[in-house]
Chains A and B, each alone.
Chain A
Amino acid sequence: MTALNLHHLAWSPLGHGHCHHQFQLRDASLRVGAGEFVGLIGPNGSGKTSLLRCAYRFSKPAAGEVLLDHQNVWKQSSRWCAQRIAVVLQEFPDAFGLRVDEVVAMGRTPHKGLFDGDTRHDRQLIEQALESVGLLGFEDHAFATLSGGEKQRVILARALAQQPQLLILDEPTNHLDPRYQLELLGLVKRLNIGTLASIHDLNLAAAFCDRLYVINHGQIVASGTPHEVLTAELLREVFGVEALIDTHPLSGYPRITWITQP
């Protein structure tokens, strides 16, 4: 079964030679099993995005390796990778008036040669992807005119049209209303594809993730189930805030209540 393994990754941003500790990675290891929803949490600048970029073969780690199905992704082409990993980023194709179905059709790119047209199979996949994010009937809407939540769902539909074995999401719930945050993560969870997502909102991470990794200063400092990871001590150490942790009265996952200083 497909699994993603990151082994002892090190990476630092190019062109920032002088002691620039932000965004660095140091000896970071992480594993996503088949069908597992893994969350990555950590403060701003801790290296969440850097780690994800290494995982989807955008940034090449200075040391360590990224294994997908026991294959080193840097020994494979980016096309090979794109046929297996789909990524949802905050990069929206707003300019130039692309239509929703055109954006979703981009997901077929890694499966297509130079002059290949869209087959009936491709069109079915595009339709299914739109259906599963609840946007069937939006095909000929201009992408730029959609709301933030709809845009994020279109990008997810594009990822689904890619028929990935692994999904990577970078802050997928940013700027979304609570309803869309819950809908989007619930949708991803129901897909039962191995998923690695960086999530800002710790309560959302606790509610949806099977396992969590905590990253701080480029190092993985804790990992395990939400119950194991989300403790008052860890939140104090890593995020520098006081919190009350109890159990969600309805669902049983840990619930974080921030303690604000008056």
Chain B
Amino acid sequence: MIDRRYALLLSALGGLLLISCVISLGFGSARVPVDVVWRILLHKALGIGEANWSAGQEHIVWLIRVPRMLLGALVGAGLALIGAVLQAVTRNPLADPHLLGVTSGATLGAVIVVLHVGEVIGLLTLPTAAFIGALLSMLVVLAVASRNGRLESDRLLLCGVAVSFVMMAVANLLLFMGDHRAASAVMFWMLGGLGLARWELLAIPTVTVLLGLVLLLGMARPLNALMSGEQTAVTLGLNARNVRLKVFLIASLMTGVLVSISGSIGFVGLMVPHIARRLVGAEHRRVLPVCVLLGSLFLVWVDVAARTLIAPEDLPIGVATAAIGGLFFIGLMRKR
């Protein structure tokens, strides 16, 4: 049911995202004019044009801001996607990627590494530890939530929340008793940040988000059916438990990967799906691409705010998403 209005909206959002990506690179503690940004991009990506800018500008734009912008777009897209499908399979409009327990597992992994292990494998230590924590907590949630081989969405969410609380309690205890300088390093990660972004770290989240998008788009019909209830899904020929388990696994793995690099960035996964549904309705083949574009767009701009508002300091992006997202959402609700 792709109609012209929808195609128009999709291309408008896509265009807006591309323009935003380029413009956003100019912002930060050191401003770089947009035309310089544009010429650096053309030069580095396609080898066009003369290098008549400073080495510092090139370093900032190409080695720091481009990977950061790309990571922001990927994380925004991924979290929005996960939020949309989780809300559908649990039939709970308040479901959020971080409710699965994965994020707190990642946090605990990160805390343990920062406080007690140190950077044993360099830059990758923190993301790796966080991802292992995320996986373990996903397995715990699955083990606790499944009963007689069944997996009910209510139990899943409750177990996710319960496991989250336990993991966060342990992580907070470790932080409370540990070294305060290490604690502030973990804190920054816990509040969410794109500061870890490097070119060499981008491959994994890129593959994760693209693969997740393709798989979930393939499951669009089952997702539509599950959104209208378990029995309805069965009468439409679906194995509801199977679909739910698949979605839970995909969502957990995606969240694990994204969170281990960017920390827990809240509100995107909760809010963007609702805005997307207002624009194009709830049908998943229509809403998922819009979620991806809106999520990216949102996070790219929130990151601009995060690195300019209290420059030269970085504002934790999780704080910014929560503040901006919450206010925006309240505005939206009041307008209705």
Chain B residues near A58: list those with CB within 8 A: 231, 234-235
**B307 in the interface (beta carbon within 8 A):** no
In the complex, what residue of chain B is closest to A86 when comparing beta carbons?
B235
**A133 in the interface (beta carbon within 8 A):** no
**A19 in the interface (beta carbon within 8 A):** no
Contact A96 B277 (CB under 8 A): yes
Chain A residues near B277: list those with CB within 8 A: 96-97
Contact B281 A82 (CB under 8 A): no
Q: Could you say which interface size class chain A belongs to?
A: 35 or more
- Given A98-B282, A118-B1 in contact, is the A57-B228 Cβ separation under 8 Å? no
- Given A95-B93, A96-B87, A96-B282 in contact, is the A110-B236 Cβ separation under 8 Å? yes
- Given A91-B229, A91-B231, A96-B93 in contact, is the A102-B237 Cβ separation under 8 Å? no
Task: Return the contact of B237 from the options A14, A81, A93, A95 (Cβ within 8 A).
Answer: A81
Contact A109 B236 (CB under 8 A): yes
Contact B221 A102 (CB under 8 A): no
Alpha-carbon separation in the docked complex, A125 to B285 (Å): 19
- What is the distance, in angstroms, from B247's C-beta to the closest C-beta of chain A? 14
Q: Chain B 237-277 against A: per-residue CB contact (8 Å), 1 yes, 0 no? A: 11100000000000000000000000000000000000001
Alpha-carbon separation in the docked complex, A83 to B236 (Å): 8
Contact B236 A114 (CB under 8 A): no
- Given A93-B232, A106-B228, A115-B218 in contact, is the A83-B237 Cβ separation under 8 Å? yes
Chain A residues near B91: list those with CB within 8 A: 95
Alpha-carbon separation in the docked complex, A108 to B282 (Å): 17
Chain B residues near A106: list those with CB within 8 A: 221, 224-225, 228, 232, 236
- What is the distance, in angstroms, from A112's C-beta to the closest C-beta of chain B? 6
Alpha-carbon separation in the docked complex, A109 to B284 (Å): 13
**B142 in the interface (beta carbon within 8 A):** no
**A105 in the interface (beta carbon within 8 A):** yes
**B88 in the interface (beta carbon within 8 A):** yes
**A257 in the interface (beta carbon within 8 A):** no
Task: Return the contact of A103 from the options B1, B228, B239 (Cβ within 8 A).
Answer: B228
Task: Return the contact of B219 from the options A14, A86, A114 (Cβ within 8 A).
Answer: A114
Q: How many interface contacts (CB-CB < 8 Å) are there between A and B?
A: 97
Q: Chain A 69-83 against B: per-residue CB contact (8 Å), 1 yes, 0 no? A: 000000001111111
- Given A95-B227, A109-B225, A114-B219 in contact, is the A85-B283 Cβ separation under 8 Å? no
Task: Return the contact of A109 from the options B218, B229, B237 (Cβ within 8 A).
Answer: B237
Contact A89 B283 (CB under 8 A): no
Alpha-carbon separation in the docked complex, A117 to B286 (Å): 11
Contact B232 A57 (CB under 8 A): no
Q: Number of B residues whose C-beta is below 8 Å from A?
A: 31
Chain B residues near A115: list those with CB within 8 A: 217-218
**B222 in the interface (beta carbon within 8 A):** yes
Task: Return the contact of A78 from the options B218, B237, B285 (Cβ within 8 A).
Answer: B237
In the complex, what residue of chain B is closest to A89 when comparing beta carbons?
B231
Alpha-carbon separation in the docked complex, A96 to B222 (Å): 15
Task: Return the contact of B222 from the options A57, A103, A109 (Cβ within 8 A).
Answer: A109
Report B1-57 residues with CB < 8 Å from chain A CB: 1-2
Contact A77 B93 (CB under 8 A): no
Contact A79 B237 (CB under 8 A): yes
Alpha-carbon separation in the docked complex, A235 to B110 (Å): 69
Q: Chain A 39-62 against B: per-residue CB contact (8 Å), 1 yes, 0 no? A: 000000000000000001110000
**A65 in the interface (beta carbon within 8 A):** no
Chain B residues near A83: list those with CB within 8 A: 237
Task: Return the contact of B221 from the options A86, A91, A92, A109 (Cβ within 8 A).
Answer: A109
**A87 in the interface (beta carbon within 8 A):** yes
**A127 in the interface (beta carbon within 8 A):** no
In the complex, what residue of chain B is closest to A81 when comparing beta carbons?
B237
- What is the distance, in angstroms, from A226's C-beta to the closest C-beta of chain B? 28
- What is the distance, in angstroms, from A104's C-beta to the closest C-beta of chain B? 11
- What is the distance, in angstroms, from B57's C-beta to the closest C-beta of chain A? 44
In the complex, what residue of chain A is closest to B92 when comparing beta carbons?
A95
- What is the distance, in angstroms, from A160's C-beta to the closest C-beta of chain B? 13
Contact B234 A109 (CB under 8 A): no
Chain A residues near B278: list those with CB within 8 A: 97
Alpha-carbon separation in the docked complex, A100 to B232 (Å): 16
| Chain B interfacial positions (CB closer than 8 Å to A) | 1-2, 87-88, 91, 93, 148, 217-219, 221-222, 224-225, 227-229, 231-232, 234-239, 277-278, 281-283, 285
Interface pairs (26), CB distance under 8 Å? A58-B231, A78-B238, A87-B231, A91-B232, A92-B228, A93-B227, A93-B228, A93-B229, A95-B91, A95-B227, A96-B87, A96-B88, A96-B282, A97-B278, A98-B224, A98-B281, A98-B282, A99-B281, A99-B283, A102-B283, A105-B1, A105-B283, A109-B221, A109-B224, A109-B238, A114-B218
Q: Knowing that A99-B282, A110-B236, A117-B2 touch, tell me 17 more A-B residue pairs with CB under 8 angstroms.
A: A57-B234, A78-B237, A82-B235, A89-B235, A93-B228, A96-B88, A96-B277, A98-B224, A101-B1, A102-B224, A106-B221, A109-B221, A109-B225, A110-B237, A115-B218, A117-B285, A118-B1
Q: Please name the 3 residue pairs, one residue from A and one from B, whose CB atoms are nearest each other, closest first.
A: A82-B237, A93-B228, A110-B237
| Chain A interfacial positions (CB closer than 8 Å to B) | 14, 56-58, 77-83, 85-87, 89, 91-93, 95-99, 101-103, 105-110, 112, 114-115, 117-118, 162
